[in-house]
Amino acid sequence: MAAAQSDADGKGTWLTAALLTPTTLWFLIMLILPLIVVVIFSFGERSPVGGYGSGFTFEQYGNLLSRLKAFQNTMTYAPLGTLVSLLVAYPLAYYLAVRVDKRWRLLLLVLVIVPFWTSLLIRTYAWIFILGGRGIPTLLEFVGIDGLRMINTPFAVVVGIVYGYLPLMVFPIYVSLERLDKRLLEASSDLGGTPLRTFWQVTLPLSMPGVATGCMLVFILLMGEFLIPAFLGGGKVFFIGNAMVDLFLQSRNWPFGSAVAVTLVIIMLITVSLYMRFVMGGKSGRDVSIM
């Protein structure tokens, strides 16, 4: 009996290993191996014709302060864009999950997704026109507000971030709220809880897994964003992503660009770890799918 159980366990182990092998190889080839290459490049030197030159030096990391402004902008506007996206997305997700009739819910969810059917580049170009001299500023001139500049400002960058990444914030929160047991809300009301108190003490805490998922999705992507700052910031709001594009494609200083990329990964790991520890209190919540 024990031998049969041992054989079954052995077969189960081999089957598990066989099923995990393709995923493990994909993970190693597509994520770990490129990261190792970037780390190796970061300790090299720029060759005379550009690109990577073999060597081992910490010089690239010593030059990181020359890109300090890009790091400061990223660490300022990535959290700010995430926060503004959350403030816009939560009421929308709450309305879709709790207030909207089920007959209209699917249609409204599709409308939230519709912007993703178009390239982010095209949508950003549209905002260049909307925020440019012939867009909103022209309309404001009719009500006596002259000389208002919107394009090529931090405001334009935040607007582009919220518009571009809003669906990624809405759907995790929506799923978390949609799965909420409505009987808990009824119980709170029966016990004398006001709508506001019910929201703060019941709805919001139970939707925190969705909030955490949405914030992580948006924040991680914003840390590497370069298109929105380049187009709507006009070069005045320079992100780390813009710095890496400049270093890899224009200056062809691959070692320095790799050092910037490695530093960005380290900052992201630290930031995400601190967020999950302090904001979520180190507690594991319900898994929230975004699909």
Q: Which amino acid is at 74?
A: T
Bridge partners (DSSP) of residue 52 are 46
Q: What angle do CA 54, 59, 60 make, to 5 degrees?
A: 80
Pairing type for strands 45-46 and 52-53 reads: antiparallel
Nearest-angstrom CA–CA distance, 49 and 252: 8
So what's the pLDDT on residue 291? 37
Nearest-angstrom CA–CA distance, 195 and 12: 52
* pLDDT in single tens digits along all 291 residues of the chain: 555 555 555 566 788 888 888 888 988 888 889 899 999 999 999 988 888 988 899 999 999 999 999 999 999 999 999 999 999 999 999 999 988 888 888 889 888 888 888 888 899 999 999 998 888 888 888 888 887 888 999 999 999 999 999 999 999 999 999 888 878 877 887 778 787 888 888 888 889 889 989 999 999 999 999 999 999 998 788 899 999 999 999 889 999 999 999 999 999 999 888 887 876 564 544 444 433
So what's the pLDDT on residue 242? 93
Structure tokens belonging to residue 4:
């049969």
Q: Which amino acid is at 247?
A: L
Cβ(209)–Cβ(288) below 8 Å = yes
Q: At what angle do helices 120-131 and 154-178 cross, to 10 degrees?
A: 130
So what's the pLDDT on residue 11? 63
Q: What global pTM score does this model have?
A: 0.84
- The string of DSSP letters for 150-169 reads -TTSHHHHHHHHHHHHHHHH
Nearest-angstrom CA–CA distance, 235 and 228: 10
Cβ(111)–Cβ(96) below 8 Å = no
> What number of other Cβ atoms are within 10 A of residue 275's Cβ?
16
So what's the pLDDT on residue 287? 44
Q: What angle do CA 284, 287, 291 make, to 5 degrees?
A: 155
Domains (range + CATH), the chain: 67-279 (1.10.3720.10)
CA quadruple 97, 98, 104, 108: dihedral sign: negative
Nearest-angstrom CA–CA distance, 136 and 241: 28
Cβ(81)–Cβ(161) below 8 Å = yes
